[in-house]
Chains A and B, each alone.
Chain A
């Protein structure tokens, strides 16, 4: 609440300089209205400038509105309970006081409507101030409910207002990620978060049903941004930050606050994920799935459908789904048939080129660390990885080679891959079947890792050195691949670039005469200076 206010003040301040006059006018108007009911009609001026063209004017009008209506809410000068129509109010037997209240309440509703419209304005500043103003109203309404309360129910949260806000935030046309990240600070508050989550669920259901399952990228992106900006509390004790009264909220949800939170959270995500998603969205969801979604779900196993679907898609998405699956298998006893076969088939040249390479190899390392795996499977993995290494960049090779060595170390019977003294003399064709999908049938154990032998001639010294290890029996100690997982090409380069002191730099002794000469004249043969 407090930061919002500050922000508001500051935005007003910036507007002040250019549109001082309008601002002064507006604040005077607000003062007048608040002073005496004679000037009640001036509120129309404010509403008018709220719809003005100029950004500055609108912003100052928003500020004026928030000041005015917050004050009115506090004074309880807005009509409580079910609002009669304006004509009815005039004709009906209301007192002058009531009439005034009804009038103001109507102005308030129209102001809220305008502000909600402003949420999809082109100008970010307007959007932001409108949102902040609405949140202020929400806080005000929470403290001074506009509903007639039963004596038993002491708690009321402006659900409608929040729902409307969320509906407008999750625009189908524009990308609201900036605004949503601004909104994140309100999500710190437990009750707001709770109600926002349930509003999201309602909204997603409505919208997606309307689109009949088709992909709505912008909307889904907005939803995802909003949902991923929700950070769940870890413990009950942390539930301290509330917009409206704490006890009321806890009473309202009537059970353990954390449990309830988790339930709502889970329902929200499931509601979102059950519809078809664009591929990029799959990746985004899967990236955060294992550490910001699964732990906060009351029943993580419900995610299994989504994860299997993602795993079936193939490519990078499958790699990412692996992580979620791992959590489920590891912590929730999920039984996944043909898991290793699928993992084996995930190994493609692109594995070394995708962004999530480090994550994949980390998980693959975990999956293959079991000592109860059959030898044929481990050999198949090793051979497959070696084959793929022929197309891998050096950074990947520095992961893969120790990875293969670790496999062989863990399963000593795989040593035949690099040491087969029985068949030393007679040369034979590589029996390994590249296209075989079943690791059991691929005859990897009959083969040797000639690929690593080839990599001994790799251009990068580190890779060549790593590949040279197969010439001698491997050491007992496993290599720690976690260090090399995140190494980038630039870091690899820096190793040579940032060498402290080189004694003497070797130089080319062939005198350079022309640009395109030298090095076998490959460049000179195909290209000319022009």
Chain B
């Protein structure tokens, strides 16, 4: 037992000295793992093993870990050597030292304040301490700079050249010091400097006093002579008097005063703009109010004389009074961009008129009164947002349409949502009120449509600001109208045509919201409403017919972009044309409700006399004709009829163009074609032309179509027979089992292997430990044996000596 480890250790020692290649090439070191059979393409890592190498590796590892632990067993304290790279044999000693040094430095550095420069490390510039320089600077700055004129003092150069001068001086100092006593302390240096500067200052003061006296004297003299001189500005003299500054100094100062890159005014955000706008309006309002009270604004401004920063103070004034600088006019000029030109110009003119008599200084009483009146007539610049519909009405009452628009615009501006929290809600309400107002304007008799026209841009602007609220408001209007119509329909089976306000609302809807959307929360219901009105409202008078035609026009406008099919539109146009047919017998077409083939109101558009055709010329129908139409005599009525007819024909023409792509075009327009070609052939010239155009357009369309087929679908792809790919985890094991089972199997296998490996390791560990213990015991025994031997030897020699002595004695 004792022998084997010795051998092994010897072998290890031998192995250690050899390189790996040597070992690998040594056939006695190599163990070849024989393969039972070759598997093509499989690369095995373990075809060759180096048992000796791996054993020595394992032993070494154990020595480092297990042996250490064993030795530390039953010991409470332990010694850890943390010296950097102490046990690293690969490191060069120089590297070790360097590393240790840097680590040391880092440790020190971290501990101290990061912002403190190292005290022992002085920053220098050309060898001069910067700290020192700073101190010198202070001394220099304390001097009155303006006093020194052109003299190149040491301090000055120091300030100008920084280290350069310092360097020179230091050298000089050094020389001095070399000459005299070595190294004055800093304290002394400073004191010396202070003294020096004080002395200089005193000198300068004395000089200045002298100069002052001199100048005073000179002035006195000058005054005495001045009367003798006729023209000579004192300024020129003064300038000459001044000693010429050195160019360089001037430049330095200039550079000192030069504008640094200053932050420019930032771009204004919309909120700021709105705020400014409101402030402007508020200012204008305040101004207006003051003038209304009769105060003379300009008077006050005149009394206090204002000097500008650039004033030369030479008594020169450009003009008496420049009106242009007055704030008010500036404001009104700028305001133009947003509001109506005309009224603004008016107000400006007014302003000019007001301003022109100013030189008179005091206004007569009448004039003051007139001014007040004018101010009253002028619109206020800020408006509180109306809280209710009646507020809005009160606000707008009695104003011209232009002014009403202005008022709304200003209300909107002075209540911009970014100015206050509640403004958003206020403006949203304002939109609703405006819509209501528009409706009311339309229901007045006569309807004030031009005012509505003027208000449209404001409504549009508000709508752009609050799309959701606008949508809600419009929806509620449409919903209410549709609901009431539905109710009357349920009771009576038919309803009256929508009133003018509803027509206007429908038009406004088209202006505010896109009509071409496939589905839109506002325009889709609006279109439905139009179609509902066109199908359910019987035509009983020329007013009704006009309303119907307005609705038709709206319908055409709604679908003009999207070219959607609106059957009710065609139905209504056919019905309208049918109204103009004289002989209602033998019709070749069918009239769709609300029209009837014959009845009380089916002759509405039949002309009373054919003569009226000749004098007729096309004119626009007034929108108010939908509400009331008073045509007493037959010629008037005929004119209206003809206008309606021409409108109708034009709409038909537009429809022809819109729907020419529909597959059923011919069937849709069949009744119109029959009507125009067979029943309505004798009409006036322009209508004749129009109708023949339409008939031509209809008949020119192709009648033939290809049969319907379903859309071609993508062919369904064939079934592909790709192999099923299964991940192979363990060869030679059951592969049919499920994934989970395979996984479980794999894990079990792995566990088993690991377990065996661990067992083996533990065994090896215990074997190693036992060996170590044995070694220990043997070493101890050998020691003891040696000591005993030694003792015995010494005893023997003692004994021997003693015996020899005894023998000698004898």
**Which positions in A face B, CB cutoff 8 Å?**
348-350, 353-355, 387, 390-394, 417-430, 448-451, 453-455, 457-461, 464, 470-473, 488-490, 492-494, 496-497, 499, 502, 504-509, 511-520, 522-523, 525-530
**Measured CA separation A436–B158 after assembly (Å):** 119
B557 & A529 in contact (Cβ 8 Å cutoff): no
Nearest CB of A to B647, in Å: 5
B667 & A390 in contact (Cβ 8 Å cutoff): yes
Counting CB contacts under 8 A, is B467 at the interface? yes
**Given known A419-B710, A505-B471, A508-B514, contact A490–B486 (CB-CB < 8 A):** yes
Nearest CB of B to A462, in Å: 9
**Which B residues are CB-close (under 8 A) to A393?**
531-532, 535, 567-568
**Which B residues are CB-close (under 8 A) to A516?**
453, 507
Identify which of residues 639-668 in chain B touch chain A, using a CB-to-CB cut-off of 8 Å: 647, 650-651, 654, 661-665, 667-668
Nearest CB of B to A362, in Å: 19
Mostly helix, strand, loop or mixed at chain B's interface?
Answer: helix
Counting CB contacts under 8 A, is B249 at the interface? no
**Which B residues are CB-close (under 8 A) to A515?**
449, 452-453, 456, 504, 507-508, 511
A496 & B519 in contact (Cβ 8 Å cutoff): yes
Nearest CB of B to A399, in Å: 15
**Given known A505-B471, A512-B512, A526-B553, contact A428–B622 (CB-CB < 8 A):** no
Report which residue of B452, B532, B664, B711 has the largest number of chain A beta carbons within 10 angstroms of its beta carbon: B664
A390 & B668 in contact (Cβ 8 Å cutoff): yes
- 14 contacting pairs across A/B (C-beta < 8 A): A391-B567, A421-B709, A451-B667, A453-B664, A454-B668, A457-B661, A496-B524, A497-B521, A505-B520, A506-B514, A512-B460, A525-B620, A527-B550, A529-B453
B620 & A420 in contact (Cβ 8 Å cutoff): no
Contact of A507 (CB < 8 Å), options: B467, B504, B620, B706: B467
> 13 extra interchain contacts, Cβ-Cβ under 8 A, other than A448-B705, A459-B527?
A353-B592, A391-B592, A428-B704, A453-B663, A457-B662, A473-B710, A489-B486, A492-B528, A504-B467, A515-B453, A523-B554, A525-B650, A527-B623
Shortest 6 CB-CB distances between A and B: which pairs?
A519-B557, A530-B622, A420-B707, A459-B564, A529-B449, A427-B704
**Which positions in B face A, CB cutoff 8 Å?**
446, 449-450, 452-453, 456-457, 459-460, 463-464, 467-468, 470-471, 475, 478-479, 482-483, 485-486, 493, 504, 507-508, 510-515, 517-522, 524-525, 527-529, 531-532, 535, 549-550, 553-554, 556-568, 570-571, 590, 592-594, 620-624, 647, 650-651, 654, 661-665, 667-668, 702-711, 713
**Measured CA separation A489–B527 after assembly (Å):** 11
B482 & A502 in contact (Cβ 8 Å cutoff): no
**Given known A420-B709, A506-B520, A515-B504, contact A391–B570 (CB-CB < 8 A):** yes
B511 & A394 in contact (Cβ 8 Å cutoff): no
**Measured CA separation A112–B449 after assembly (Å):** 66
Q: Which residue of A lies closest to B511 (CB)?
A: A512
B708 & A448 in contact (Cβ 8 Å cutoff): yes
Nearest CB of B to A350, in Å: 6
Nearest CB of A to B343, in Å: 18
Q: Which residue of B lies closest to A519 (CB)?
A: B557
**Measured CA separation A418–B709 after assembly (Å):** 6
**Measured CA separation A514–B510 after assembly (Å):** 12
**Given known A392-B567, A393-B567, contact A522–B553 (CB-CB < 8 A):** yes
Q: Which residue of A lies closest to B552 (CB)?
A: A522
Contact of B593 (CB < 8 Å), options: A350, A511, A518: A350
**Which B residues are CB-close (under 8 A) to A471?**
710-711
**Given known A459-B559, A523-B553, contact A424–B707 (CB-CB < 8 A):** yes
B521 & A424 in contact (Cβ 8 Å cutoff): no
Nearest CB of B to A372, in Å: 27
Nearest CB of A to B150, in Å: 70
Nearest CB of B to A228, in Å: 19
**Given known A512-B456, A513-B457, contact A522–B664 (CB-CB < 8 A):** no
**Which B residues are CB-close (under 8 A) to A504?**
467-468
**Measured CA separation A355–B490 after assembly (Å):** 9
**Which B residues are CB-close (under 8 A) to A457?**
563-565, 661-662
**Which B residues are CB-close (under 8 A) to A420?**
707-709
B706 & A423 in contact (Cβ 8 Å cutoff): yes
Interface contact tally, CB-CB below 8 A: 252
**Given known A489-B528, A490-B482, A505-B471, contact A423–B707 (CB-CB < 8 A):** yes
Q: Which residue of B lies closest to A416 (CB)?
A: B707
B528 & A460 in contact (Cβ 8 Å cutoff): yes
B518 & A513 in contact (Cβ 8 Å cutoff): no
B711 & A472 in contact (Cβ 8 Å cutoff): yes
Q: Which residue of B lies closest to A515 (CB)?
A: B453
**Which B residues are CB-close (under 8 A) to A426?**
706
**Measured CA separation A427–B529 after assembly (Å):** 38
**Measured CA separation A473–B532 after assembly (Å):** 33
**Measured CA separation A499–B521 after assembly (Å):** 8
Nearest CB of B to A17, in Å: 35
**Which B residues are CB-close (under 8 A) to A473?**
710
B456 & A513 in contact (Cβ 8 Å cutoff): yes
Q: Which residue of B lies closest to A432 (CB)?
A: B667
Nearest CB of B to A523, in Å: 5
Contact of A390 (CB < 8 Å), options: B449, B508, B567, B647: B567
B710 & A494 in contact (Cβ 8 Å cutoff): no
B549 & A505 in contact (Cβ 8 Å cutoff): no
**Given known A390-B667, A522-B553, A522-B654, contact A493–B525 (CB-CB < 8 A):** yes
Nearest CB of A to B59, in Å: 76
**Measured CA separation A118–B446 after assembly (Å):** 51
A496 & B525 in contact (Cβ 8 Å cutoff): yes
**Measured CA separation A489–B568 after assembly (Å):** 13
Nearest CB of A to B26, in Å: 82
Q: Which residue of A lies closest to B508 (CB)?
A: A515
A526 & B705 in contact (Cβ 8 Å cutoff): no
**Which A residues are CB-close (under 8 A) to B519?**
461, 496
**Which B residues are CB-close (under 8 A) to A530?**
446, 449, 622-624
**Which A residues are CB-close (under 8 A) to B703?**
429-430
**Which B residues are CB-close (under 8 A) to A512?**
456-457, 459-460, 511-512
**Measured CA separation A392–B479 after assembly (Å):** 22
**Given known A353-B535, A390-B567, A505-B470, contact A522–B651 (CB-CB < 8 A):** yes
B566 & A459 in contact (Cβ 8 Å cutoff): yes
B623 & A529 in contact (Cβ 8 Å cutoff): yes
Contact of B664 (CB < 8 Å), options: A355, A451, A472: A451
Q: Which residue of A lies closest to B464 (CB)?
A: A507
**Which A residues are CB-close (under 8 A) to B710?**
418-419, 470-473
**Measured CA separation A425–B667 after assembly (Å):** 22
**Measured CA separation A59–B511 after assembly (Å):** 64
**Measured CA separation A107–B707 after assembly (Å):** 88
Contact of A514 (CB < 8 Å), options: B453, B650, B702: B453
**Which B residues are CB-close (under 8 A) to A511?**
457, 460
Contact of A493 (CB < 8 Å), options: B528, B559, B562, B665: B528
**Measured CA separation A455–B661 after assembly (Å):** 12
**Given known A392-B567, A453-B664, A515-B453, contact A430–B522 (CB-CB < 8 A):** no
**Given known A391-B570, A527-B621, contact A454–B565 (CB-CB < 8 A):** yes
Contact of A505 (CB < 8 Å), options: B468, B507, B560, B562: B468
B467 & A505 in contact (Cβ 8 Å cutoff): yes
Q: Which residue of A lies closest to B619 (CB)?
A: A528
Q: Which residue of A lies closest to B453 (CB)?
A: A515
A450 & B557 in contact (Cβ 8 Å cutoff): no
**Which B residues are CB-close (under 8 A) to A353?**
535, 592-594
**Which A residues are CB-close (under 8 A) to B453?**
514-516, 529
